[in-house]
Chains A and B, each alone.
Chain A
Amino acid sequence: KQEVTQIPAALSVPEGENLVLNCSFTDSAIYNLQWFRQDPGKGLTSLLLIQSSQREQTSGRLNASLDKSSGRSTLYIAASQPGDSATYLCAVWGTGANSKLTFGKGITLSVRP
């Protein structure tokens, strides 16, 4: 059974700092890995999707990397801003019996002005 872990559960950084959010998964048989953003009381917004054959994806100040063999992904946020404060969820789309999105619990990021 696929398990996705995100540590730490919460992170607080000053504005302008570059930061890395980590995600690990137990079963490397995946089609893709996705990073989502969730604002309090709101739905999930897709940030980046990395196919299993890819190593990284970039969108603006965000860069996500994938090391499928080691079961790890990182989300890099450059020059963080208070508006980046949210919960960041990692999810993998598995194969076979895991053909669904399996989510981590998320990292709650607070960017202090």
Chain B
Amino acid sequence: EPEVTQTPSHQVTQMGQEVILRCVPISNHLYFYWYRQILGQKVEFLVSFYNNEISEKSEIFDDQFSVERPDGSNFTLKIRSTKLEDSAMYFCASGTSGGAWETQYFGPGTRLLVL
């Protein structure tokens, strides 16, 4: 069964460093999402992406964040200058439609630790 994959599974970085989290969505999906889950907290929506542009973004998704689909398979989340509070599990998800009509498929997550 097709699945969403994410790399790396864990990343440790120093505060102020740039990180890029990578995702390979399911191949025929057109909608892509990033969520994060701070330890012990709710899963929070960050951004949705369709047709090579951002569809929606949350107030969390500020200028330090960016997303890109650099080729036909990868979907990346970049954090330009990491802060301690960026430490979280980051989940990528994808879907065939815009989410209102069918579920999203989540990857296993990247655990980011900012020191």
Q: Are A49 and B103 in contact (CB under 8 A)?
A: yes
Query: A88-106: which residues lie under 8 A (CB-CB) from chain B?
Result: 89, 91, 93, 99-106
**Are B58 and A100 in contact (CB-based, < 8 A)?**
yes
Interface size on B, residues (CB 8 A): 26
Q: How far is the CB of B115 from chain A (nearest CB, A)?
A: 20
Range class of the A interface residue count = 20 to 34
CA distance A103 to B4 in the complex (A): 20
Q: Are A100 and B48 in contact (CB under 8 A)?
A: yes
* Shortest distance from the beta carbon of A5 to any chain B beta carbon, whole Å: 10
Cβ-defined contact, A100 with B43, below 8 A: no
Which residues of chain A are within 8 angstroms of B102 by Cβ–Cβ distance?
49
State which of B12-20, B67-75, B77-85, B104-112 sits at the interface with chain A. B104-112
The answer to whether A43 and B107 touch across the interface, beta carbons within 8 angstroms, is: yes
Count contacts between A and B, CB distance < 8 Å.
Answer: 56
Residues of B within 8 A of A (CB): 4, 33, 35, 41-45, 48, 56, 58, 91, 93, 98-109, 111
Q: How far is the CB of B81 from chain A (nearest CB, A)?
A: 25
Q: Which residues of A contact B99 (CB under 8 A)?
A: 93, 99-101
A101 to B106, CA, bound (A): 12
**Chain A residues engaging chain B, CB cutoff 8 angstroms:** 4, 31-32, 34, 36, 41-46, 49, 51, 89, 91, 93, 99-106
* CB <8 Å contact, A89 and B43: yes
A46 to B43, CA, bound (A): 14
13 contacts across the A-B interface (CB closer than 8 A): A4-B42, A34-B103, A43-B107, A43-B108, A43-B109, A45-B106, A46-B105, A49-B103, A100-B45, A100-B56, A100-B58, A101-B99, A103-B43
